[in-house]
């Protein structure tokens, strides 16, 4: 008797990704390599790397490339990180200046091994960029810092224009998708951000088994704590060890979510299959 084999979802045409190329892409790649920088573009296998690097931008990842959490959707390495590198802020700031970025996105791994979760290096990096490239605006995609207000405030006081923390998924699926992270903890972190001068931003993935009603409730939860910018993209399974894709959501449904979010009061909603947290991030800088 022939054994049944599990059905595998095939990627639809709208998820085809271009191969990175072009002189601007190569230039950014060389700067990243020379200055020993980490980027979420490469660590996270971002589908927009060809577009962003091709126009001379990149999302830089600080505090190393080894995360202390092991979220089931993420392709960043997990384990015991190396010691914090206090020369990193200088190198990152120098690289941002060399890249001549008008807008820079910073993110980091989770550093639960550090007493402050890496808040000091976060603040030092933002300050160094502001000093060497005063014309560059900044978005910071931060960990939850266990919603400790004093640590989040340390980052906020350095003056980034936009501060993002991703909810990643709906409340019901959080324990299956995220490691150590809690839905309510993330909302508390976002509430602290929203009270500051920085724009509060968050993002979720689709295709993990969420319902339309749950996505709507997630939007309501984010608006309730003051989040003004939302990104929505398709989850793509990085390797066989990661969570399987339950559904490839059609672009029309992404458009419907964009409309829903704007009706609920978000100032910006970036919603399409290949959208990621930092996609077209320069649009999200505005005065509150």
Q: From the CA atom positions of the chain, what is the Rg in Å?
A: 18
Q: Which of helix, strand or coil describes residue 33?
A: helix
Q: Model confidence at 98, in pLDDT bands (50, 70, 90)? A: confident
Mean pLDDT of 224-248: 95
252 pLDDT more than 60: yes
How many angstroms separate the CA atoms of 74 and 92, rounded? 23
Find out whether 162 and 201 touch, Cβ atoms under 8 Å. yes
User: pTM score > 0.95 for this model?
Assistant: no
C-alpha closest to that of 223 among 269, 256, 181:
269
Q: Where are the domains of the chain?
A: 17-202
Cα three-residue angle 102-106-112, rounded to 5 degrees: 170
Q: What is the pLDDT of residue 264?
A: 98
Tokens 């910006």 sit on residue:
268
Q: E-strand spans in the chain?
A: 38-39, 59-62, 66-67, 77-78, 103-108, 137-141, 162-164, 199-206, 229-234, 268-271
Architecture in CATH for domain 17-202: Alpha-Beta Barrel (3.20)
Taking phi over 0 as left and psi of -120 to 50 as alpha, with beta for the rest, 180 belongs to left
Min mean pLDDT across 47-56, 72-81, 127-136 is at: 47-56
pLDDT in tens, 192-222: 999 999 999 999 999 999 999 999 999 999 9
- Residues 19-59 pLDDT 10s: 455 555 555 566 666 655 555 555 445 555 555 555 556 68
Q: What percent of the chain has pLDDT over 90?
A: 67
pLDDT single digits (tens) 144-196:
999 999 999 999 999 999 999 999 999 999 999 999 899 999 999 999 999 99
């Amino acid at each position: 008797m022939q054994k049944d084999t599990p059905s595998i979802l095939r990627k639809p045409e709208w998820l085809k990704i271009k191969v990175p190329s072009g002189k601007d892409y190569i230039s950014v790649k060389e700067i990243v390599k020379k200055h020993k920088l980490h980027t979420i573009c490469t660590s996270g296998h971002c589908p927009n790397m060809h577009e962003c690097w091709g126009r001379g931008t990149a999302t830089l990842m600080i505090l190393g490339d080894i995360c202390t959490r092991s979220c089931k959707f993420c392709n960043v390495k997990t384990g015991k990180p190396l010691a914090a590198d206090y020369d990193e802020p200088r190198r990152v700031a120098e690289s941002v200046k060399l890249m001549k970025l008008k807008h820079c996105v910073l993110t980091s791994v989770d550093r639960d091994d550090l007493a402050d979760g890496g808040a000091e290096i976060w603040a030092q990096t933002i300050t160094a960029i502001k000093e060497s490239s005063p014309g560059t605006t900044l978005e910071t995609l931060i960990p939850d810092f266990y919603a400790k207000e004093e640590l989040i405030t340390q980052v906020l006081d350095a003056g980034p224009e936009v501060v993002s923390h991703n909810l990643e998924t709906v409340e019901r699926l959080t324990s299956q998708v995220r490691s150590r992270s809690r839905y309510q903890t993330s909302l508390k972190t976002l509430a602290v951000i929203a009270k500051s001068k920085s724009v509060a931003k968050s993002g979720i993935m689709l295709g993990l088994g969420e319902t339309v009603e749950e996505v709507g409730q997630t939007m309501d939860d984010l608006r309730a704590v003051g989040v003004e910018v939302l990104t929505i993209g398709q989850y793509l399974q990085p390797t066989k060890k990661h969570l399987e894709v339950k559904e490839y959501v059609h672009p029309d449904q992404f458009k419907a979510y964009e409309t829903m979010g704007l009706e609920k009061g978000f100032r910006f909603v970036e919603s399409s299959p290949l959208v990621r947290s930092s996609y077209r991030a320069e649009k999200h800088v505005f005065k509150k």
